[in-house]
Structure 1
């Protein structure tokens, strides 16, 4: 009986040893499988992260490359536009200069075609157009623009722009504002000598200073004349004007002969 008990106990210990060894091996195999699965999962996640990073970096690189390409294209377009703008500016300025030269030459040619002559019947000068044969009692605007412009009576350097009636002097804009800015001179009567384009304003015939409207008499036929020199009455002026009108053809012939001479 004792022997059987020892044998049963030895078999039980052997069974426990086998079970412990088997369970240990099974546990080690399970842990190895878990580690492998965990490593595979981590590798899968790492590969997925790398793939996402590669896709994102590629997308961002393509976007940046497209942006840089657009910047290069815009810069090239700006350069071409700048060159075109510069060329247009140069062409415009040069063509404007040529146009101004041609216009000045044309205006001077038109102004030079007028010739001043004297009518003994009326006792006053008239202007004859050598190209068209036109006769004018009033000095043409083209001839007025050729007359020298007066200088400022104050600084004597700048070309005068304003004439003061009470001072009987010419002023540039700066000197006129300084002299007539206050005091009694602020109420002086004045007028501009030239228009916006620099052409002389026709206030009457004669050299500077020109006559004021109150000092000039204007007739439909005889043109302008100073009131101080209008010794004849209305009938005499009208008769002289009508006589001058009737002799227009004779004056034209005389003008053509003088121009040819």
Structure 2
């Protein structure tokens, strides 16, 4: 089928490579630079919950500035496909569309961000020439000029302020990723609501099944709640949970989730599409 030529490059782009300062991924790709600071190294394999509390405490004492340029491929490519004759081929049922499901939760094609906080590089004390991940914490200021909703793009300048604790950590036994943030987003268009939101994301991959210290092994959870800035009324709830299964040396994940929208964030009747 011809429409697969649009989907296959996106799905198999995957995580081509990820390293300190840049990452290519189908959902979130970025290029970042740390200004005015030398690298902060964190050694050892700390207890996961205790490590989160250390990050939270350190986030309130900024000492570094990070600049990031981000791009969201699935959201942008879904918008491009919507402009073609192949878009309807991705609709499975009246209430289920493949591209809408893949891009759910991603509302911008790109962004520029400034983090005022701290960046930690993780290493093992006996393997000092190899990184085992990176952690970010502090206050994030982001802005952009486009919004995407239901695979349609709209022109609207936006500005976002977040408190964030985020990172990825590899050890010999497991890999875990986390992203906790509280923020507010303002729109230049009065046809799009300003929102207050809270997000929790945590993902674990267990390499050694006998390792007993792992918390919720091979489980992925993402939760995002949005409220209206004007009156704190409920707007939407996003929830996604996934369970990983190992087959030989590979991991496969089965995910289930929903996006409940109580109030519209966009006034489609009067908002001009790109």
Q: Does the pair score TM above 0.5?
A: no
Q: Calculate the TM-score normalised by the size of structure 2.
A: 0.18
The structure with the largest strand share of the pair is 2
TM-score, reference length from structure 1: 0.19
Q: Of the two structures, which has the highest relative contact order with CA contacts closer than 8 Å and spacing of 6 or more?
A: 2
Q: Which has the higher helix share?
A: 1
Q: Which has the larger radius of gyration?
A: 1
